[in-house]
Structure 1
Protein backbone atom coordinates (compact mmCIF):
# COMPACT_ATOMS: atom_id res chain seq x y z
CA UNK A 1 0.00 0.00 0.00
CA UNK A 2 1.29 3.45 -0.89
CA UNK A 3 2.39 5.54 2.06
CA UNK A 4 -0.10 8.35 1.39
CA UNK A 5 -3.05 5.95 1.31
CA UNK A 6 -1.73 4.12 4.37
CA UNK A 7 -1.36 7.41 6.26
CA UNK A 8 -4.87 8.56 5.34
CA UNK A 9 -6.34 5.18 6.34
CA UNK A 10 -4.60 5.22 9.74
CA UNK A 11 -5.72 8.82 10.34
CA UNK A 12 -9.29 7.69 9.60
CA UNK A 13 -9.00 4.88 12.15
CA UNK A 14 -7.55 7.31 14.71
CA UNK A 15 -10.47 9.68 14.11
CA UNK A 16 -12.85 6.76 14.71
CA UNK A 17 -11.15 6.08 18.06
CA UNK A 18 -11.19 9.76 19.02
CA UNK A 19 -14.86 10.12 18.05
CA UNK A 20 -15.78 7.15 20.22
CA UNK A 21 -13.66 8.11 23.25
CA UNK A 22 -13.32 11.89 23.05
CA UNK A 23 -10.44 13.85 24.57
CA UNK A 24 -9.23 13.61 28.16
CA UNK A 25 -8.16 9.97 28.58
CA UNK A 26 -4.66 8.70 29.20
CA UNK A 27 -2.42 8.07 26.19
CA UNK A 28 -2.44 4.33 26.84
CA UNK A 29 -6.22 4.11 26.33
CA UNK A 30 -5.93 5.64 22.86
CA UNK A 31 -2.92 3.46 22.04
CA UNK A 32 -4.69 0.23 22.94
CA UNK A 33 -7.85 1.17 21.02
CA UNK A 34 -5.97 2.38 17.94
CA UNK A 35 -3.78 -0.73 17.95
CA UNK A 36 -6.96 -2.85 18.06
CA UNK A 37 -8.57 -0.91 15.18
CA UNK A 38 -5.44 -1.14 13.00
CA UNK A 39 -5.12 -4.86 13.69
CA UNK A 40 -8.81 -5.44 12.92
CA UNK A 41 -8.36 -3.57 9.62
CA UNK A 42 -5.84 -6.25 8.60
CA UNK A 43 -2.61 -4.27 8.80
CA UNK A 44 0.66 -5.60 10.16
CA UNK A 45 1.00 -3.67 13.40
CA UNK A 46 3.41 -3.67 16.34
CA UNK A 47 2.94 -1.96 19.69
CA UNK A 48 5.74 -0.69 21.94
CA UNK A 49 8.39 -1.69 19.40
CA UNK A 50 11.81 -1.54 21.05
CA UNK A 51 14.26 0.73 19.26
CA UNK A 52 17.84 0.05 20.31
CA UNK A 53 20.47 2.74 20.11
CA UNK A 54 23.54 1.63 18.17
CA UNK A 55 26.73 3.05 19.66
CA UNK A 56 30.16 1.91 18.47
CA UNK A 57 28.57 -1.10 16.73
CA UNK A 58 26.81 -2.19 19.93
CA UNK A 59 23.01 -2.24 20.23
CA UNK A 60 21.99 -0.70 23.54
CA UNK A 61 18.49 -0.87 24.99
CA UNK A 62 17.99 2.65 26.29
CA UNK A 63 14.24 2.35 26.72
CA UNK A 64 13.21 3.81 23.35
CA UNK A 65 9.91 2.38 22.15
CA UNK A 66 7.74 3.29 19.19
CA UNK A 67 4.12 3.53 20.34
CA UNK A 68 2.78 1.85 17.18
CA UNK A 69 4.49 0.78 13.96
CA UNK A 70 2.25 0.02 10.97
CA UNK A 71 3.32 -2.14 8.02
CA UNK A 72 6.94 -1.75 9.16
CA UNK A 73 6.99 1.73 7.62
CA UNK A 74 4.72 4.18 9.47
CA UNK A 75 5.68 5.35 12.97
CA UNK A 76 2.82 6.48 15.21
CA UNK A 77 3.73 8.55 18.26
CA UNK A 78 0.66 9.15 20.41
CA UNK A 79 0.13 11.83 23.02
CA UNK A 80 -2.68 13.01 25.24
CA UNK A 81 -1.38 16.40 26.34
CA UNK A 82 -2.32 20.07 26.33
CA UNK A 83 -0.32 20.87 23.18
CA UNK A 84 2.34 19.32 20.96
CA UNK A 85 5.79 20.90 21.07
CA UNK A 86 9.08 20.68 19.20
CA UNK A 87 10.27 18.12 21.76
CA UNK A 88 7.52 15.72 20.67
CA UNK A 89 8.46 16.23 17.03
CA UNK A 90 12.11 15.57 17.88
CA UNK A 91 11.14 12.38 19.72
CA UNK A 92 9.21 11.11 16.71
CA UNK A 93 12.06 12.00 14.35
CA UNK A 94 14.50 10.16 16.62
CA UNK A 95 12.43 6.99 16.46
CA UNK A 96 12.20 7.32 12.69
CA UNK A 97 15.96 7.80 12.40
CA UNK A 98 16.83 4.90 14.73
CA UNK A 99 14.60 2.54 12.77
CA UNK A 100 15.30 3.91 9.29
CA UNK A 101 11.63 4.85 8.76
CA UNK A 102 10.63 7.72 6.44
CA UNK A 103 7.03 8.28 7.52
CA UNK A 104 5.48 9.19 10.83
CA UNK A 105 2.38 10.58 12.46
CA UNK A 106 2.53 12.54 15.71
CA UNK A 107 -0.98 12.52 17.20
CA UNK A 108 -2.34 14.39 20.20
CA UNK A 109 -5.68 12.91 21.27
CA UNK A 110 -6.34 15.62 23.88
CA UNK A 111 -8.00 17.97 21.38
CA UNK A 112 -11.61 18.63 20.43
CA UNK A 113 -11.03 17.62 16.78
CA UNK A 114 -8.30 15.07 16.18
CA UNK A 115 -7.33 16.59 12.83
CA UNK A 116 -6.08 19.62 14.82
CA UNK A 117 -3.75 17.33 16.79
CA UNK A 118 -2.04 15.50 13.93
CA UNK A 119 1.35 16.22 12.38
CA UNK A 120 2.48 14.23 9.35
CA UNK A 121 6.21 13.74 9.17
CA UNK A 122 8.31 12.71 6.17
CA UNK A 123 12.00 12.26 6.88
CA UNK A 124 13.99 12.77 3.71
CA UNK A 125 17.29 11.14 4.69
Structure 2
Protein backbone atom coordinates (compact mmCIF):
# COMPACT_ATOMS: atom_id res chain seq x y z
CA UNK A 1 0.00 0.00 0.00
CA UNK A 2 1.33 3.40 -0.97
CA UNK A 3 2.18 5.69 1.97
CA UNK A 4 1.93 2.77 4.42
CA UNK A 5 5.04 3.86 6.34
CA UNK A 6 3.78 7.42 6.61
CA UNK A 7 0.26 6.48 7.73
CA UNK A 8 1.76 4.00 10.21
CA UNK A 9 3.92 6.76 11.70
CA UNK A 10 0.93 9.14 11.99
CA UNK A 11 -1.19 6.43 13.64
CA UNK A 12 1.67 5.75 16.05
CA UNK A 13 1.69 9.42 17.04
CA UNK A 14 -2.08 9.30 17.59
CA UNK A 15 -1.71 6.18 19.74
CA UNK A 16 0.90 7.92 21.89
CA UNK A 17 -1.40 10.91 22.38
CA UNK A 18 -4.39 8.70 23.22
CA UNK A 19 -2.42 6.53 25.64
CA UNK A 20 -1.17 9.67 27.41
CA UNK A 21 -4.40 11.69 27.51
CA UNK A 22 -7.07 8.99 27.32
CA UNK A 23 -10.50 9.90 26.03
CA UNK A 24 -12.88 12.64 27.14
CA UNK A 25 -11.26 15.85 25.91
CA UNK A 26 -12.44 18.15 23.14
CA UNK A 27 -11.04 17.61 19.67
CA UNK A 28 -8.84 20.73 19.83
CA UNK A 29 -6.91 19.30 22.81
CA UNK A 30 -6.05 16.17 20.82
CA UNK A 31 -5.19 18.31 17.81
CA UNK A 32 -2.70 20.34 19.84
CA UNK A 33 -1.15 17.25 21.44
CA UNK A 34 -0.91 15.46 18.09
CA UNK A 35 0.86 18.48 16.58
CA UNK A 36 3.47 18.25 19.34
CA UNK A 37 3.90 14.49 18.88
CA UNK A 38 4.16 14.67 15.08
CA UNK A 39 6.72 17.45 15.38
CA UNK A 40 8.74 15.30 17.82
CA UNK A 41 8.63 12.47 15.25
CA UNK A 42 9.92 14.73 12.48
CA UNK A 43 6.71 14.83 10.43
CA UNK A 44 6.03 17.95 8.39
CA UNK A 45 2.44 19.14 8.51
CA UNK A 46 0.09 22.05 8.22
CA UNK A 47 -2.68 22.41 10.78
CA UNK A 48 -6.14 23.77 9.99
CA UNK A 49 -5.12 24.14 6.37
CA UNK A 50 -7.80 25.64 4.17
CA UNK A 51 -8.24 23.59 1.01
CA UNK A 52 -10.43 24.24 -1.99
CA UNK A 53 -13.20 21.81 -2.88
CA UNK A 54 -13.83 21.22 -6.56
CA UNK A 55 -16.85 19.99 -8.44
CA UNK A 56 -16.23 19.03 -12.06
CA UNK A 57 -13.31 21.42 -12.22
CA UNK A 58 -15.10 24.31 -10.50
CA UNK A 59 -13.94 25.69 -7.16
CA UNK A 60 -17.12 25.55 -5.05
CA UNK A 61 -15.78 26.46 -1.64
CA UNK A 62 -13.25 25.64 1.00
CA UNK A 63 -12.91 23.33 3.97
CA UNK A 64 -10.27 23.30 6.66
CA UNK A 65 -8.55 19.98 7.03
CA UNK A 66 -7.35 19.23 10.58
CA UNK A 67 -3.88 18.26 9.33
CA UNK A 68 -2.22 17.94 5.95
CA UNK A 69 0.83 15.74 6.57
CA UNK A 70 3.93 15.64 4.37
CA UNK A 71 1.89 17.24 1.57
CA UNK A 72 0.33 13.80 0.96
CA UNK A 73 -2.08 12.74 3.71
CA UNK A 74 -5.28 14.42 4.85
CA UNK A 75 -5.83 13.75 8.56
CA UNK A 76 -9.31 14.29 9.97
CA UNK A 77 -9.73 14.12 13.75
CA UNK A 78 -12.79 13.37 15.82
CA UNK A 79 -13.44 13.19 19.56
CA UNK A 80 -16.63 11.14 19.59
CA UNK A 81 -17.86 8.22 21.66
CA UNK A 82 -17.78 6.11 18.51
CA UNK A 83 -17.07 6.62 14.82
CA UNK A 84 -19.93 5.87 12.49
CA UNK A 85 -20.17 5.21 8.78
CA UNK A 86 -21.14 8.85 8.15
CA UNK A 87 -17.74 9.98 9.47
CA UNK A 88 -15.98 7.49 7.22
CA UNK A 89 -18.01 8.71 4.23
CA UNK A 90 -17.14 12.32 5.12
CA UNK A 91 -13.41 11.56 5.18
CA UNK A 92 -13.63 9.66 1.89
CA UNK A 93 -15.49 12.60 0.35
CA UNK A 94 -12.77 14.99 1.51
CA UNK A 95 -10.14 12.83 -0.20
CA UNK A 96 -12.14 13.02 -3.40
CA UNK A 97 -12.81 16.75 -3.10
CA UNK A 98 -9.11 17.46 -2.42
CA UNK A 99 -8.04 14.96 -5.10
CA UNK A 100 -5.83 13.06 -2.64
CA UNK A 101 -5.22 9.32 -2.93
CA UNK A 102 -5.41 8.61 0.81
CA UNK A 103 -6.40 10.12 4.12
CA UNK A 104 -6.73 9.14 7.74
CA UNK A 105 -9.70 9.39 10.05
CA UNK A 106 -8.74 9.23 13.74
CA UNK A 107 -11.11 9.27 16.71
CA UNK A 108 -9.74 10.08 20.17
CA UNK A 109 -13.12 10.06 21.94
CA UNK A 110 -13.59 6.31 22.28
CA UNK A 111 -12.09 4.24 25.09
CA UNK A 112 -9.67 2.78 22.52
CA UNK A 113 -8.24 4.90 19.72
CA UNK A 114 -10.16 4.38 16.48
CA UNK A 115 -8.57 4.96 13.10
CA UNK A 116 -9.22 4.26 9.46
CA UNK A 117 -7.20 4.74 6.32
CA UNK A 118 -9.56 6.12 3.69
CA UNK A 119 -9.00 5.97 -0.04
CA UNK A 120 -10.14 8.10 -2.91
CA UNK A 121 -11.24 5.31 -5.23
CA UNK A 122 -11.39 7.69 -8.19
CA UNK A 123 -7.74 8.74 -7.80
CA UNK A 124 -5.41 7.28 -10.47
CA UNK A 125 -3.03 5.96 -7.79
CA UNK A 126 -5.82 3.75 -6.41
CA UNK A 127 -7.06 2.17 -9.63
CA UNK A 128 -6.21 -1.32 -8.33
CA UNK A 129 -7.55 -0.78 -4.81
CA UNK A 130 -10.80 -2.61 -4.14
CA UNK A 131 -12.53 -2.19 -0.80
CA UNK A 132 -16.30 -2.40 -0.91
CA UNK A 133 -16.84 -2.56 2.85
CA UNK A 134 -14.22 -0.55 4.79
CA UNK A 135 -14.27 -1.14 8.54
CA UNK A 136 -13.23 1.16 11.33
CA UNK A 137 -10.22 -0.24 13.20
CA UNK A 138 -9.69 0.00 16.92
CA UNK A 139 -6.32 -0.17 18.61
TM-score band (shorter)? Answer: 0.7 to 0.9
Shift of 1:124: 2.6
Q: Unpaired runs of 5+ in structure 2?
A: 123-139
Calculate the aligned-residue CA RMSD, in Å. 1.8
Shift of 1:56: 7.2
CA distance in structure 2 between the partners assigned to 1:68 and 1:52 by the alignment: 14
TM-score, scaled to structure 1: 0.86
Q: What does residue 119 of structure 1 align with?
A: 116
The runs of at least 4 aligned residues of structure 1 exceeding 2 Å deviation read 53-62
Ranked by relative contact order (alpha carbons within 8 Å, sequence separation 6 or more), the top structure is 1
Q: What does residue 23 of structure 2 align with?
A: 23
TM-score, scaled to structure 2: 0.78
CA distance in structure 2 between the partners assigned to 1:65 and 1:110 by the alignment: 20
Whether 1:95 and 2:113 are equivalent positions in the alignment is: no
Q: What does residue 48 of structure 2 align with?
A: 48
